[in-house]
Amino acid sequence: MTDHYAVIGRPINHTKSPLIHGLFAATTGQDLEYGAIEGSPEDFAGDVQRFRAQGGQGLNVTAPFKLQAFQLATESSERARLARAANALKFEGEQVVAENFDGIGLLRDIEVNLGQPLAGKRVLLLGAGGAVRGALLPFLAAGPTELVMANRDGRKAAELAQEIGHPLLSVRSYAALEGETFDLVINATSASLVGELPPVPAGVFAQAALAYELAYGKGLTPFLRLAREQGVAQLADGVGMLVEQAAEAFAWWRGVRPETRPVIDQLTLPLT
């Protein structure tokens, strides 16, 4: 009997998740169907309940519903609890179990696929939204010398840092980044979705830095263009993270972890 899964978000027409999970199912021999749901901000819980009533067994959750997904859950992993956000749900009887694979998916893409271990590096995260919340603990566990957050809403970033309470985690205003350099700079803001550049000083990229754009399929975004103009040799967008976190969810649901490299290669577009 075919099992049913889906991704829920808004907007959702751009999603690659059905393609990714279809490829995973084909290569692992799993009998499943995977769709996409345009969620309603006013009735996210209703959307989830309707999917469950139709036989759905699990959901990937994308913006802007990750916080609502966590609040809806009856049981949560430690990762989801600490992030207070969920990017995957599993339905077990009456239970709604929440997980957050964003951080470990991003970390695996950077360290394994891109060959940039975080140990001993200075890392700058731009933004303080759900993706950043999910990334903080896995990143801190990877052993950077410092992890800095910058966000337009400094209070939001400061509250998040206080909540995490780790000595290697600190917050700067964008202006205060002037004169500092980082080995890894990740744009987790929504600026690239509308073709804008976050107000980050041009000089934040160290000589051998990696510039990572969390958005995927946008080509050479203003953030990546700035990095290239500053001489950054290694640029990446979020397609690897997308595939890696999907593989973690697939393994959580199905008990088998698919190979990710062929899927990443198939989805990767030139950064032009």
pLDDT digits (tens, 9 = 90+) for 18-76: 999 999 999 999 999 999 999 999 999 999 999 999 999 999 999 899 999 999 999 99
Identity at 250, one-letter amino acid code: F
Residue 87, annotated as binding a ligand: yes
User: H or E element: which one contains 6?
Assistant: strand 3-9
Verify whether residue 156 is a known catalytic residue: no
Residue 102, annotated as binding a ligand: yes
User: Domain 103-237 carries which CATH code?
Assistant: 3.40.50.720
Q: Which one of 66, 90, 121, 218 is the catalytic residue?
A: 66
Identity at 4, one-letter amino acid code: H
Q: Where in the chain is the domain with CATH 3.40.50.10860?
A: 3-100+240-267
Cβ count near 70 (within 10 Å) = 23
Q: Where in the chain is the domain with CATH 3.40.50.720?
A: 103-237
With 0.85 as the threshold, say if the pTM is over it: yes
On the CB side of 60, CA atoms within 13 Å amount to 27
Residue 238, annotated as binding a ligand: yes
Using CA atoms, how far apart are residues 134 and 186, in angstroms rounded to an integer? 14
pLDDT tens, position by position, 117-128: 999 999 999 998
Q: Domain 3-100+240-267 falls in which CATH fold?
A: Rossmann fold (3.40.50)
Q: Taking a C-beta distance cutoff of 8 angstroms, is the pair 7, 62 a contact?
A: yes
Residue 130, annotated as binding a ligand: yes
State percent of the chain over pLDDT 90: 83
Residue owning tokens 């309603």 = 40
